[in-house]
Amino acid sequence: MSSYTSSSNPHRRYVLWLLALAFALMTGLFSLGVYLQPLFGDLTRIGSYAERDYGWNKPQLEFQQPLFEMGRYDRYYDVVVLGDSFSTERPRFQWQNYLVAAKGWSVVTLDRKKIKLEQVLENPVFRKTPPKIFILETVERGLPGLIAINQPCDATALLKRVDATARPEAVAAPVHARELQGLAKQVEREAAWHNIKLGYVRNYLLNSLLRKLFGDARTNAVNVELAEVASFSSANKQSMLIYKDDFSKRPGWRKMSLPEISCRIESMRRRVEENRQSRFVFMVAPDKLTAYADFVRDKKLRDISQLSEFSGYLPEIMPRLDLTLISAIHNGEQDVYLPDDTHWGSTGHQIAAETLLTFLRNP
């Protein structure tokens, strides 16, 4: 036996041992990923929580294809939506589909992260052929960031005009099943093995260890204990995942008074409606913590939101999504918000569309 052959055997065994160890590690991670179930929600992703515990198990209604268009505003549309992820995240789930199915409107959705209100108003299409309806949509926690602080506004001219707790949209007109026939179908949460993400499994192990050792992994998703079972279809019904910014929205709202914020929204409305052809609608998606506040064990977290009070300043332009969504949750509707996500389930999207349609019937 040559000296070369004898010296290569230990090296070969070392390489084979490393490969076997790597294979065992990958197999272990993959097996754990199968147990945790494939990733779906944004909260399970950013918080490293298990879909097995927080994933939705009730089938969701998904449209065969989006009935509205996104991103290109280069022709006339009946409805123009300028919104955040509550309007853009999953096109086949979105509330705009129900508007098109019920009314036959042409709808385009623009992402507020990519285009500003000023750009929409300056668009030649908007100037020459303005839409019938312009919807500015924002999630509750993002509302202060929507407003230009240096925009002049006489807040003293805007008074609270209605009791924010008494609005007819608490019962919204339904979008009937016949209007959705052939357009949408029930879908299950994905369980295919090829959707297992090993990076997610690795983060789950790391952050689970940090929670065991220190009680907190400092992720952007927070697990909140519930005082009573909420209407989620997830396996875990004793707690709820929340985006951390749901807790910190109050300081952002307090930088300006509610009349001042409302005044700036009114200023936007006047700019949109100065063509005398477009109707401005301000659509605010309540934070998940706001919608399920009555179920949260920690009573200090139940009164963070100022959304109900704020809506009293803008009754002519702001549909009360908070009332209809909260009403559905208290009536036991499952997955109005997805248990593993910040956003609505298909039930929430449909309720939002129905609330909007009811609101638009009012002149």
pLDDT of residue 156: 58
Q: Of the candidates 260, 248, 269, which has an alpha carbon nearest to the alpha carbon of residue 316?
A: 269
Among the residues of the chain, which ranges form H helices?
3-36, 42-47, 51-54, 85-88, 95-103, 117-122, 124-128, 143-146, 177-180, 198-214, 249-254, 258-273, 288-291, 307-311, 321-330, 346-360
Contacts of 144 (CB under 8 A, 6+ apart): 249, 252, 253, 255, 256, 261
pLDDT of residue 152: 62
Return the exposure string of 90-107: e unless at least 16 CB atoms fall within 10 Å of the residue's CB, then b.
bbbbbbbbbbbbbbebbb
Predicted TM-score (pTM) of this structure: 0.89
pLDDT of residue 261: 87
Q: Show me where the domains of the chain are located.
A: 60-188+241-360
Q: What is the CATH number of domain 60-188+241-360?
A: 3.40.50
pLDDT of residue 185: 94
Residue 340: helix, strand or coil by DSSP? Answer: coil
From first to last of its 363 residues, the chain has per-residue pLDDT tens of 555 555 577 777 766 676 666 666 777 777 878 889 999 999 999 999 999 999 999 999 999 999 999 999 999 999 999 999 999 999 999 999 999 999 999 999 999 999 999 999 999 999 999 999 999 999 999 988 887 555 567 655 555 554 444 444 455 667 877 788 889 999 999 888 788 888 999 999 999 999 989 888 889 999 999 999 989 999 999 999 999 999 888 777 777 788 888 888 999 999 999 999 999 999 999 999 999 999 999 999 998 999 999 999 999 999 999 999 999 999 999 999 999 999 999 999 999 999 999 999 876
Tokens encoding 74: 């280069």
| The residue type at 194 | H
- Angle, in degrees to the nearest 10, between helices 346-360 and 321-330: 140
